[in-house]
């Protein structure tokens, strides 16, 4: 009697199956191409790797490579903290700038198409000769005189350099009696304006797509209720765009941590191929990966609590 009965999925089950189908290529690709190398890298991080004529040899040393990275290596922790500090400066600034730019580009004005192209140019340029120059360290060398002292002295040193180049801006904020932490952040963000603009192209496109996807009848209903532009922005636009804020935060963090100009990535590579300490280099990579994962999980959890989804 029950043989002709069809198996039916609930709406929630259909959504779960659809999501599984979308992520299945990634799962299959990870199992086929990344799972084994990941396991091997864990083994390498717990071993001393020596290059031989026939390949390589492993000598198990436990957590000595991790201990070396944290307690012996003179540069790793300093570069690591500087990198994380730069990310903490960049992410909020990129989110704010890209959201404002997307809101402006969503308005009707002459030359809007050209303006959108201009904002997306950093992605096009970054995919070509500029990326090759960064990989060859040429741009870093040409900017070394300007930023070298700040990098060596850490974030506070960068802030002092910026004070020299933007004294009028600093004096203005000092007269406003802003807190020292906020002043330091504003000055650092101002110094990184070119970097912030170059990394904002994709987030701008994401925000622009989200803004264009907000139903117009919601704003019309708000107009009937007498809401002004400020109220519509904070009570309609921001809540409906909040899931994309989470998406952009994840993208910016991952992109910043893996960018070609990331000093920590370069240092890890130089530890392996320049100094020949492969086990320590892999251990540094795993520490870096774990910290990125923790930061992503914490940020996504905190921001997702404030996000709004409209089904």
- Read off the pLDDT of each residue in 253-272 and give the average, rounded to a whole number: 84
Structural domains in the chain? Answer: 25-60 (no CATH), 63-308 (1.10.3720.10)
- Rank 84-88, 126-130, 234-238 by mean pLDDT and report only the highest: 234-238
Residue 265 confidence (pLDDT) above 70: yes
Between 271 and 159, name the one with better pLDDT. Answer: 271
DSSP state of 237: I
Q: Are 180 and 173 in contact (CB under 8 A)?
A: no
Residue 28 confidence (pLDDT) above 90: yes
> What is the value of pTM for the model shown?
0.70
Residue with tokens 């139903």: 215
What's the rounded Cα separation, in Å, for the pair 253 and 245? 12
Exposure on the CB side of residue 259, measured as CA atoms within 13 A? 21
Between 17 and 172, name the one with better pLDDT. Answer: 17
Q: What is the longest distance spanned by two Cα atoms in the chain?
A: 85
Query: Mean pLDDT across the chain, nearest whole number?
Result: 78
Q: Are 59 and 276 in contact (CB under 8 A)?
A: no
Q: How confident is residue 186, by pLDDT bands cut at 50, 70 and 90?
A: low
What's the rounded Cα separation, in Å, for the pair 94 and 200? 6
CA distances (Å), origin 132, targets 107, 119, 139, 272: 36, 21, 10, 21
Per the structure block, which two tokens stand in for 204?
């701008």
User: What is the distance, to the nearest Å, from the Cα of residue 31 to the centroid of all Cα atoms in its chain?
Assistant: 25
Q: What is the pLDDT of residue 129?
A: 52
Residue 155 confidence (pLDDT) above 70: no
Task: Classify residue 130 as exposed, middle or buried by CB count within 10 Å of its CB (0-12, 13-18, 19+).
Answer: middle
């Amino acid at each position: 009697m029950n043989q002709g009965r069809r198996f039916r999925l609930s709406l929630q089950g259909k959504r779960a199956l659809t999501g599984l189908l979308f992520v299945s290529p990634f799962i299959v690709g990870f199992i086929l191409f990344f799972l084994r190398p990941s396991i091997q890298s864990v083994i390498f991080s717990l071993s001393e790797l020596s290059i031989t004529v026939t390949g390589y040899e492993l000598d198990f040393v436990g957590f000595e490579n991790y201990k070396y990275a944290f307690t012996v290596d003179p540069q790793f922790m300093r570069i690591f903290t500087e990198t994380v500090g730069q990310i903490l400066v960049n992410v909020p600034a990129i989110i704010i700038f890209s959201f404002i730019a997307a809101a402006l580009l969503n308005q009707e004005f002459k030359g809007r198409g050209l303006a959108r192209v201009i904002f997306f140019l950093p992605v096009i340029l970054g995919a070509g000769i500029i990326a090759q120059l960064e990989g060859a360290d040429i741009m870093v060398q040409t900017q070394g005189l300007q930023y070298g002292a700040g990098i060596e002295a850490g974030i506070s040193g960068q802030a002092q350099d910026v004070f020299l180049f933007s004294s009028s801006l600093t004096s203005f904020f000092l007269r406003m009696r802003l807190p020292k932490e906020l002043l330091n952040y504003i000055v650092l963000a101002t110094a990184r304006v070119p970097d912030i603009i170059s990394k904002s192209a994709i987030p701008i496109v994401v925000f622009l797509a989200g803004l264009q996807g907000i139903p117009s009848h919601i704003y019309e209903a708000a107009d009937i209720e007498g809401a002004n532009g400020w109220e519509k922005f904070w009570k309609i636009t921001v809540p409906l765009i909040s899931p994309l804020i989470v998406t952009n935060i994840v993208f910016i963090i991952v992109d910043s941590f893996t960018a070609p100009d990331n000093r920590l990535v370069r240092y890890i590579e130089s530890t392996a191929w320049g100094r020949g300490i492969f086990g320590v280099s892999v251990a540094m990579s795993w520490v870096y990966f774990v910290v990125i994962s923790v930061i992503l999980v914490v940020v996504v959890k905190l921001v997702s609590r404030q996000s709004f989804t409209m089904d």
